[in-house]
Structures are given as structure tokens and as C-alpha cells.
Copies of this chain bind each other. A is one copy, B any other.
Amino acid sequence: MGYRAGVVGAAGFAGIELVRLLSRHPEFDLAAATSDALAGTPIAKAYPAFTGVTDLAFSTHEDTDFSAFDVVFLAVPHKAAMGMAPDLMAAGVTVVDLSADFRLKDPAIYEKWYAPHTAADLLAQAAFGLPELTGDELAAAAERRAAGEAVLVGCAGCYPTATSLAAAPAIRAGLVDAAAPVVADAVSGVTGAGKKATERTHYCFANENLEAYGVGTHRHTPEIEQILGLEGRLVFTPHLAPLNRGLLSTVTLPLAPGAAPTTEELVELYRDFYAASPLVSVMDAGVQPRTASVAGTCRAQVGVAVHPAGMIVATGAIDNLGKGAAGQGVQCANIVFGLPETCGLEEIANPV
């Protein structure tokens, strides 16, 4: 008998990907998938990929008794998550939240970018869920959970994951100028724009098109700055491209005065950095990551190169719903429950 797991907001894109991952997870048993909008509808009717796979239907959040659950994954919008997490934790349920509500350590920053925080007392104990970079927080959470506590994980967003995996090794090694701006131009597939049918997500407007959006205003900015220690120095521009799943972040980092690594040395440094991280691969010098090579998985590929203008150009490729959302949630849950980090996440991307 595995751990009893639930997904709240299961009909959204991150939610249904959690359903997919948990349906085949050897240690978590998916026992409830809530969607107020689709309550009563069989999952397989809303998402026919589940035809012949599961008879489970969506339930309402209200009618679902989570008290006997070990873990609940929240795949709801920001603000909704901070309304749900306290009750769940009070009932002894570990919460893995994919929303933005428990990512930012400083409630003032949360309020500036989102709204007043109604569960700010939980921020201090929330572990930030980006295992390759916040292993200590997750290890501490795992210990607390092993001791019987319900714990809370606020998983990193999609753009922050790809951007930080690409930039962190160089920054943490002191190779990056601590005063100069860092530029991250990132491109996402359309699943990143969510399930809601809008003009923006209409096939005929998204197809055969490239565009930037949210220039200077995207809410992932403070999150990336927090992870990388870049307060006020990040110029982050997201873009939309015509594919379902995939996110590529290209980060341009000015070398610190005196730093003059070769590309090969950087690759070496990055490989050491991720030596204990089975889901992150650092590409050979001269080879760039491909999002297609990680689509449908929780894997990440990172590339790094020295640019003659005195910069490091680092690229990170993930599946925005995999390592950028649901997969990362499962990875964090694995760690918190003392399972192997990759448990249930061994899928290999379609080679073609």
C-alpha cells in the first residue's frame, strides 16, 4: 500500500499531468482528483488519453475528504492555494503546491507582484521546490515529515526552473559580475498559457507565430531573482512559440572581473555541480539542449558557453508541464517522502 495522494485543480494542464504521473507512480496512490468545474465527469471523458486507463471521475474540492491523505498536490491558481494549504496541513496532510503562493520568502514581494498574502506564517516553513538548487530545504522538510509533521513545498515555476538551472552553477561559483544585469530570454510552448480557451490559445493565432509578452512585468521575475540572488538585476522576457510542451531559457551572464573560463571548464564545472542530480544533464561543449529531448519528462538539459564579448551564455531546456510543474511536484514529493528522487519519473522523451 502506497501513500494516499490527491490532486486539487486536476482538470488544468498541470493538474492533469499530475494525474498522469501519479496514475503510474509505484508509491503514491492517486485517490482523488478535484475539479469544481468538471466534478462528476470521468477523467477519461475530459482527457481521452485516459480512456482505458482509469475510471476515476473528477470530484469537487468541497466534497473530497482529504483527512486520510498523505499528500495533496495543489494545481490551482495563486491565491486559491494559500486558502487551501493551512486546513490541509492542520489535518496532517503534506502539501505540494505548484502555484506561486509559497515560493517567495518575503510576503511584501508577494504582495507587490500578486496580492496580500493570507497565510504568510507558512512562508517560513515552506520548502522551495527546485531540488537541484534547494536540496537542503527539501531534506529538512523530509526530516520533519519523517518525524510526523505535515510539510509544505512551494514548487518553482516553469521559467524560474529552466532559467535557474542554466544560471545557478556559474553564479554560485562566483563567475558572474555581481553588479551587472543578467538577461534571460525564454520561450515557452502553448501549454504554458493554460487550459483556458482564449484568442491567445486559439490554434490559429498561436500556430506559425512567435511573440514576446509580459515585457518587464512577468511575475516570475522576483522568483528568479530570489533563487539566483539577482535582486533588481534581472531582465526577463518570456515568449510564446508554436509547440505544446517545451520551454527554453537563454541566459546571458556577464563574467566577473578577472574571470576567464573556457567553455570546456564551464561544462566541467556544471557537470560537477549537477553530479548528484539524475534529472539534469549538461551538454557537451558546442552542443545545445533541445526541448523535444525532454518533452513529456521531468528531465532538464543545460548548455553553457563562453561568449567572446565577456559573457556566459547558458541555456536550459525543460518540459514546462514536466520539470516545470507536475514532474517537479512529484520529484519534490518523492524527496519529502524519502523515496528515490526519480521514482515514477523514469520516462524517456520520444526520440522523435
Contacts and interface: CB of A to CB of B under 8 A. Distances in A.
Q: For the side of the interface on A, what is the size category?
A: 35 or more
Contact of A307 (B211, B216, B308): B216
Interface of A: 13, 16-17, 19-20, 23-24, 47-53, 180-181, 183, 185, 187, 189-191, 195, 197-199, 201-213, 215-216, 232-235, 237, 239, 241-248, 250, 252, 254, 278-281, 283, 287-296, 299, 301, 303, 305-311, 313, 315, 317, 321, 346-352
A237 B252 contact: yes
A52 B207 CA distance: 22
B242 A242 contact: yes
Contact of A203 (B181, B242, B309): B242
A245 B210 CA distance: 10
Kindly report how many copies of this chain are found in the complex they form together.
4
A241 B20 CA distance: 25
Contact of A283 (B51, B207, B352): B51
Contacts of A16: 351-352
A235 B158 CA distance: 25
A20 B351 contact: yes
Task: Indicate the member of A209, A246, A346 with the most B CB atoms within 10 Å.
Answer: A209
Contacts of A183: 183, 185, 252
Contact of A235 (B191, B233, B307): B307
A202 B203 contact: yes
20 contacts: A16-B351, A20-B348, A47-B352, A48-B283, A180-B180, A181-B311, A197-B201, A207-B207, A207-B243, A208-B243, A208-B245, A208-B295, A209-B243, A209-B292, A210-B248, A215-B288, A215-B307, A233-B309, A234-B309, A296-B296
Nearest to A213: B288
B232 A48 contact: no
Given A190-B203, A197-B201, A248-B239, A50 B213 contact: no
Contacts of A47: 293, 351-352
B309 A212 contact: no
Contacts of A187: 187, 210, 239, 241
Contacts of A211: 248, 288-291, 317
Nearest to A53: B348
A315 B212 contact: yes
